[in-house]
Structure 1
Amino acid sequence: MVAVPVGAAAELVVVVTQEMTVHFDELGPVHPVYATYTMAKHFEEAGRKLLLRHLAPGEAGIGRSVSVDHLGPSWVGDTVRVTARCVEARGNRLTCACVATDAAGRELGRGSTVQVVLPEAELAARIGEGARRRGP
């Protein structure tokens, strides 16, 4: 059972680096701005920061889903503040609404994350080395 109160929040503050800009494996560099996939990663990280404060001993969390609406650009050197706020904690799932803003308060993106809480042993059985050897 996830015990995160609705409204609880966590923040992540990052400074955009070159590594956070749009650069695809096959296509190479595309735009010199904060990438949508990096924003998604930061949404997940902020949500995880929130969840970690509320896990009971022997519990572990894993990401289930993330959504991102990227609304505006930010550039290398810009500070981005990502906030994840609990909107629902039901059963073993935590749902967070996420927002990314720049130093001036301009909204860069919004979205959500869902994390699932499982006993550590169960999660290890699902994703650990033994599960890898068994295959899908």
Structure 2
Amino acid sequence: MIPVPVGAVAELDVVVTPEMTVRFDELGPVHPVYATYSMAKHFEEAGRKLLLRHLQPGEAGIGRSVSVEHLGPSWVGDAIRVTARCVAVRGNRLTCECSAVDADGRELGRGTTVQAVLPQEVLEARIGEGARERVRRAGPGDARRRTD
């Protein structure tokens, strides 16, 4: 991985769509506002956007964790800017602080993402064709090491 400077930023602009509102598979529609899980997805996407600029040929990134604190609502049609800022690089891990802000400057949410960088062939061996059966054969407790 090309070194990612602390403070490096990536931004993602989104407009809330009906698909981004709170809707559960079993329960159906719940609230007509931007869902926390949509915010989490956008935090991951912004962090990945930052990471992609620093990957070298043959490297791949994979998400390790995401946390979200949803601070306020936004509705269908609202414009949101998601920002991911590098706060740490330790070994093969990139940690970003993320925020979501609406067009009026209201902070809608904040959180963190962590991504791991691995050789592409290692990642493919862990999640590509045939990996599911290898993980199942390995049994409980072994799967965690699959993305270290």
Which TM class, normalised by the smaller chain length? Answer: over 0.9
Q: Report the counterpart of residue 72 of structure 1 in structure 2.
A: 72
How do 1:15-34 residues align onto structure 2 when only pairs under 5 Å count? 15-34=15-34
In the alignment, structure 1 segments of 5+ residues that lack a partner are none
State the shift of 1:130 in Å: 1.8
Q: How many angstroms apart in 1 are the aligned matches of 2:53 and 2:106?
A: 28
Structure number, greater radius of gyration: 2
Q: Does 1:95 align with 2:95?
A: yes
Q: Report the counterpart of residue 115 of structure 1 in structure 2.
A: 115
TM-score by length of 2: 0.90
Aligned pair count reads 136
TM-score by length of 1: 0.97
Query: What one-letter code is carried by the residue in structure 2 that aligns with 1:113?
Result: T
CA-based RMSD: 0.9
How do 1:32-51 residues align onto structure 2 when only pairs under 5 Å count? 32-51=32-51
State the shift of 1:124 in Å: 0.2
Query: What one-letter code is carried by the residue in structure 1 that aligns with 2:13?
Result: V
Q: How many angstroms apart in 1 are the aligned matches of 2:2 and 2:20?
A: 31
Q: How many angstroms apart in 2 are the aligned matches of 1:12 and 1:127?
A: 27
4+ residue stretches of structure 1 with deviation over 4 A?
Answer: none
2:130 aligns to what SS in structure 1? helix
Identical-residue share of aligned pairs (%): 81
Higher relative contact order (CA 8 A, sep 6+): 1
